[in-house]
Structure 1
Amino acid sequence: MTPEQLSTAIVDVLTTLSDEGALTLPDGVPTTVTVERPRQKGHGDYATNVALQLGKRAGMAPRDLAQLLATRLEGVDGVAAVEIAGPGFLNLTVAAGAQGAVAARVVAEGAAYGRTDTFAGERVDVEFISANPTGPLHLGHTRWAVVGDALARVLEAAGADVTREFYINDRGNQMDLFGASLEAAALGQPTPENGYHGGYVADLAREIVADRPDILDLEGAERTVAFREAGYALQLRQQQQQLERFQTRFDVWFSERSLHEADDVAASLERLRAQGHLYDADGALWMRTSDFDDDKDRVLIRSNGELTYFASDTAYYVDKRQRGFDRCVYLLGADHHGYVNRLRAMAACAGDDPDRNIEVLIGQLVKILQDGVELKLSKRAGTLVTLEELMDLIGVDALRYTLARYPADSPLTLDVAEMTKASSDNPVFYVQYAHARVSSILRNAADLGLVPDGDPGKLVDEVDPALLAHEKEGDLLRALAEFPRVVASAAQLREPHRVARYLEETAGVYHRFYDSCRVLPMGEEEPGDLHRARLLLVAATRTVLANGLGLLGVSAPERM
């Protein structure tokens, strides 16, 4: 039995007791009950504090309520024993057959195992990279490329309809400087003041001229604009290719320009004005964000008629909501703390609930060391090290997994040697090796004819789950049963690192199981039902490891 199944059984018992009049809960029976693995061995397979939570509401001493529940739960199929502990905890022991059935369920569900309907029906937009198409993606973008993508994956696994969105900052002075820098490089002239440097600028300029030789025949502003637009297209394509290689894919690449070209900014401002949240002062247009906990009101149109970045941000948010998203999630860098309240206030000014419709997550900086020295310089970009260089140096899997396994709001200092070494001290190697190990066992079992047609799924109907009664088998089964809860929790808390830590713990549980329980027959030993039951458990482990790594965008190798 899984924690979810036990939770359902407890809710059913509470409902029956309530219907019979043996239990009175003024605000009704809860729809779910927390069931967890106990911290100490000997306290059963699972534990719940439901009697402590409901005792006061039911007008009963928690131990009395626990006794009432225990009597009924002992008659539930799959529950072997119920023990009352302390002030009213319930320790539940699951029957061997019911426990072993977890393996069959995992293998039967395959890639779908771990998915829940926690956020079913909710449309979520996750915006997790916002960059100028004026240079390569760099270390500053890398953490969000991992965390944002992993967050989108766990939200999808928890039932949400998720759209991944990249906001292209393709408007304004930086784009003009980019065009002028490319033009100067093509003409062999000095880079403009505050322009873009680095070998990549010269590379782009050469590619533009090779593709369109006539560009040099243009003059003045027309030539500068032509270089800007050609460089924009090339650089954006490179960013897209780099992210594709990094296993980070976007559903929408949203252009800031498009908001202005379609007059969406003006339309959004008129909507806000109609709601009474805009006012004119000192020749400028302001939004009353201070009415909603911002530290001051924000300018939307300056006295010289120029739109502010906040005006674009506002129009972009309104556009998302008009596209039907229930929740707009923003992942911003460490230097954007001041944006949290102003974005929430902006949502409130748009008539939305800032606790429901908008969510702003702030990430911290990452430092990467090589030979004790921080990586800062790029061979091509000239300043920050690029994503492409990091992938070449560290590898996609190692870089993604390492960045995904820490809370995003924690500053990180990582070492190249630690991330790339092939040993059990390296978490990504440890988890991937566990997957490769179980894959090897299943290949060997298929060669021995223990897996029908090489398909572990066909073991489901051949295995007696009650045979999986060894202590280490029980530990592994309980670990596998936790996976859906871990995924749902990662989605609810916006903490995909919980999946990585779970995988490491489960890999450890698997290794301890393998050390104690022989899976394949030795020598002349005849294969038996226990071998097949353990192979089913091994197959279930492979499924969970693969599904978990997939949620982090990391490969699950068959061989290492």
Structure 2
Amino acid sequence: MTPADLSRTVLRAVRRAVDEGALRAPVPARVRVERTRPGGSGDYACAVALQLAGPAALPALEVAAVLRERVAAEPGIGRVEITGPGFLSFTLDAPAAGDRAVLDAVREQGLAYGHGDALREEILQFHHAREVRAAVTAHAVRRLVVAQGARVRVSCAEASDPDWARLGVTVDAHGTPPVPLTGIRPVPAGATAGELLERLGPDATRWGLLRPAGHDRAALGPELLVQGEANPLFRVRYAHARARALTRGAALLGFTAGHDPDGEGPFPYDGAARPLLDLIADHPGVLLAGARHRAPDRVARQLEAVAHAFFDFHDSCPPLPAGDEKPSAAHRARLALAEAAGTVLAGGLSLLGIRAPEHL
């Protein structure tokens, strides 16, 4: 069960409790679950009972008890505890099955892993100044919210800079329309699109404009072109290219990614593999948060974290056999995780409008 699956499971429990008359409260649009903090209980925690206590006119502990009995019976849930003033703490059943579910979801959904319909009811209008960072940010935010089901229209205060097209930016209208607007106003780049493209090219320009939070100044120096670990963009794209190279190397050795067909023994996603798998499982939540908060920088930071965890995993748990070693179930499982990381990196870069080459 992924975090998104767990969120939907809890939301169904809320809806069922309301339908059955056990709770009298509005059903929220979404339920947020978070990884349990160090020292906490279970795998994930949720504060929905505290959120519903006021509208339901019940103590949060009573609301939590109502929801606990409905969530505990769901497949994939091992244990549900009530902690503190009314938090629900979830321990997932069969961790290996949950790990497989995450990787299966990535494989089935491909670059669309993490896309959803949470914003399907929203019709948005973004507006920005005639400035390159605002234009690129609005374009990236459009891609993020569309990936979550929203409909979007983007307008610019003045006619577009022709060089924006070389950055992939499109604008639907010019001038200020007479409708409610959401302004996209990051700190200006201090350069034109043409100047940045000449110095950095489109991919490094977009990364340099999108990686910092909107209220921070964008660093747009030659460090964005460094082919080394000190450059986060290079590290992200190199991790993706390395993941693709592993698939090609496995094919030459005559094996493909997969799980232990017998499901026997400990599933090999522990140690250095665990942080990477957890980041992949959290990816849909990061994409949704980036869309809700109009913050493509969150996606960029997520990709950096995935790349870092990928290299730690790759060095500690090589997906390819060495020397005369024969490919094993462990190698197939490691390759599955490496391929999932490559897919997440490619999908995230695509949402930011940045290419993910298979060779660097």
Q: Which residue of 2 aligns with 1:470?
A: 270
The DSSP-based 3-state class of the residue aligned with 2:247 is: helix
Alignment of 1:81 onto 2:69: no
- How has the CA–CA distance of structure 1 residues 72 and 65 changed in structure 2, closer, same or farther, with 3 Å as cutoff? same
C-alpha deviation, 1:427, in angstroms: 1.9
Q: 1:559 to 1:552 in 2, by over 3 A?
A: same
What is aligned with 1:424? 229
Cα-to-partner distance string for 1:137-169 (whole Å, 9 max, x where unaligned): xxxx32123212111111211212334445655
Q: Report the counterpart of residue 177 of structure 2 in structure 1.
A: 317
Rounded Cα–Cα distance in structure 2 between residues aligned with 1:129 and 1:468: 51
Q: Corresponding residue for 1:511?
A: 311
Residue type at the aligned position of 1:160: A
* 2:356 matches 1:556: yes
C-alpha change, 1:151 and 1:460, in structure 2 (3 Å) is farther
2:248 to 440, 443, 452: 443
Q: Tell me which structure has the larger Cα radius of gyration.
A: 1
Where does residue 46 of structure 2 map in the other structure? 48
CA distance in 2: counterparts of 1:69 and 1:253, whole angstroms: 47
Structure-to-structure mapping, 1:306-455, within 5 angstroms? 313=175, 317-318=177-178, 347=179, 357-367=180-190, 386-410=192-216, 412=217, 414=219, 416-451=221-256
Deviation at 1:557, TM superposition (A): 2.0
Q: Which amino acid aligns with 2:210?
A: A
Deviates more, 1:532-541 or 1:61-70: 61-70
Asked if the contact 1:439/1:558 (under 8 Å) is kept, the reply is yes
Number of residues of Structure 1 aligned to a counterpart in Structure 2: 357
The match for 2:143 among 153, 156, 159 is 153
Identity of aligned residues (%): 36
2: CA distance between counterparts of 1:165 and 1:527? 54
Report the equivalent of 1:546.
Answer: 346
1:517-545 CA distance string (max 9 Å, x none): 33222333332223222222222111111
Q: Deviations over 1:474-526 (max 9, x none)?
A: 43233212222222222222222111111112222323333333322233333
- Is residue 476–residue 509 contact of structure 1 (8 Å, CA) maintained in 2? yes
Cα drift, residue 245 of structure 1: 2.5
Matched residue of 2:237: which SS?
A: helix
Decide whether aligned partners of structure 1 residues 426 and 70 sit closer, same or farther in structure 2, where only a CA change above 3 A counts: same
What's the TM-score, normalizing by structure 1? Answer: 0.57
> Structure 2 vs 1, CA of residues 160 and 73 (structure 1 numbering), >3 Å: closer, same or farther?
closer
Q: What is the DSSP-based 3-state SS (H/G/I as helix, E as strand, rest coil) of the residue aligned with 1:120?
A: coil
Pairwise CA distance, 1:105: 0.6
User: How far has the Cα of 1:462 moved from its partner?
Assistant: 6.5
C-alpha spacing 1:40/1:515, structure 2 compared with 1 (3 Å)? farther
RMSD: 3.1
TM-score of the pair, normalised by structure 2? 0.86
Secondary structure of the structure 2 residue equivalent to 1:482 = helix
| Change over 3 Å in CA distance of 1:54–1:441 after alignment to 2 | same
List per-residue Cα deviations over 1:325-344 (Å, max 9, x = no partner): xxxxxxxxxxxxxxxxxxxx
Q: In structure 2, the residue corresponding to 1:531 is in which secondary structure?
A: helix
Secondary structure, aligned partner of 1:414: coil
For 2:168 and 2:225, how far apart are their aligned partners in 1? 18
4+ runs deviating over 6 angstroms: 460-463
Q: Is the 8 A contact 2:132 2:164 kept in 1?
A: no
1:535–1:81 Cα change, 3 Å: farther
Question: C-alpha separation between the residues in 2 aligned to 1:123 and 1:68?
Answer: 35
User: Counterpart amino acid of 2:110?
Assistant: G
Give, in whole Å, the separation in 2 of the partners of 1:508 and 1:45.
23
Q: Which runs of no fewer than 5 residues in structure 2 stay unpaired?
A: none
Residues in 1 aligned to 2:316 and 2:90: alpha-carbon distance in whole angstroms: 25
Q: What is the correspondence of 1:245-324 to structure 2 with a 5 Å cutoff?
A: 245-248=166-169, 250=170, 252=172, 254=174, 313=175, 317-318=177-178
Q: Which residue of 2 aligns with 1:142?
A: 132
1:244 aligned residue: 165
Q: Deviations over 1:45-73 (max 9, x none)?
A: 32212233334555554445445544543
Secondary structure at the aligned position of 1:81 is classed as strand
Kindly indicate whether residue 25 of structure 2 is the aligned counterpart of residue 104 of structure 1.
no
* C-alpha distance 447-52 of structure 1, shift in aligned 2 (>3 A): same
8 Å CA contact 1:438–1:541 kept in 2: the answer is yes
Question: Which residue identity lines up with residue 252 of structure 2 in the other structure?
Answer: D
